[in-house]
Amino acid sequence: MTVQTIPEIEAMTAAQQIELMEALWKNMSERNLNSEPPDWHGQHLEDREKALAKGEDEFITLDEFENDLRNELK
């Protein structure tokens, strides 16, 4: 067995953080941890469909989303 020490995230370089993230993603994918969505996802989608049907919510384009996000982050 190999013991690995992972430094504090803040002490890692961007390249090290990306390497760690990729290793975690690869491991999770191989173990198929993301095969079933959590129950709350289905409930959230139902709630969104109801809100859309009532006119309480609406779809926006990806361009609109990106512009909104950019404005929010300014």
Output the pTM of the full model: 0.45
* Predicted local confidence at residue 1, as pLDDT: 55
**DSSP class of residue 32?**
T
* Digit-coded pLDDT (tens) for 2-54: 667 888 999 999 999 999 999 998 988 888 765 778 889 999 999 999 999 99
Side-chain-side CA neighbours of residue 30 (13 Å):
6
Confidence of residue 68 (pLDDT cuts 50, 70, 90): very high
CB 35 within 8 A of CB 29: no
